[in-house]
Amino acid sequence: MPGTAPGNNVGGILPAGLAWHLTRPVRALRRATRQLADGDLSVRVPVNDRGSGSEVADLSREFNRMADQIEHLITSRRQLNRDISHELRSPLARLHVALGLARRDASSTASAALDRIEREADRLNDMIGELLTLNRLESNEDLVTEELDLAKLLEDVVHDADFEAASCERTVT
């Protein structure tokens, strides 16, 4: 066939191969960006320093710098949340002990107030547990699921609202 010499396809293969080779760092950067967005804080991009003035190499370095900073900030925040949670649990445990001691000598009026204090301490303890659960969620740790008694939750909310309303001489029904 005229015009289809065996070497003519080389003209299309070489530019395609060159384009693939030249865009490889950009594809790696795109992949790393997706991984970072999906929560992989350890992802970094290889930097090709052969062309040290290369825009792609500069962009890769900046990506790695940004990823380092994001990883450090998120890791620090998670550690702070864990530390605060554990530090708050110690005084709550002592509060529960003090409540137990106070109940021994409490009148019926004081006993109701002590019950309220205990519920609030339990609520704080639950919030601390939720903060720790959030940390586990963010770090992709395995979670244990449990059922929630919605009626009990609503009963507690109404009881709390009634307690708050009592200070204004009101009731919640």
The set of catalytic residues is 86
Q: How many whole angstroms separate alpha carbon 158 and alpha carbon 173?
A: 8
* Rounded Cα gap, residues 169 and 82, in angstroms: 40
CA angle 47, 69, 43 (to 5 degrees): 45
C-alpha distances (whole Å) from 59 to each of 21, 45, 67, 73 are 17, 10, 12, 21
The pair of three-digit structure tokens given for residue 85, joined into one six-digit string: 């949670």
What Å distances lie between residue 20 and 44, 52, 60, 103, 129, CA to CA?
21, 20, 18, 76, 51
The answer to whether 51 touches 57, Cβ cutoff 8 Å, is: yes
CB 78 within 8 A of CB 48: no
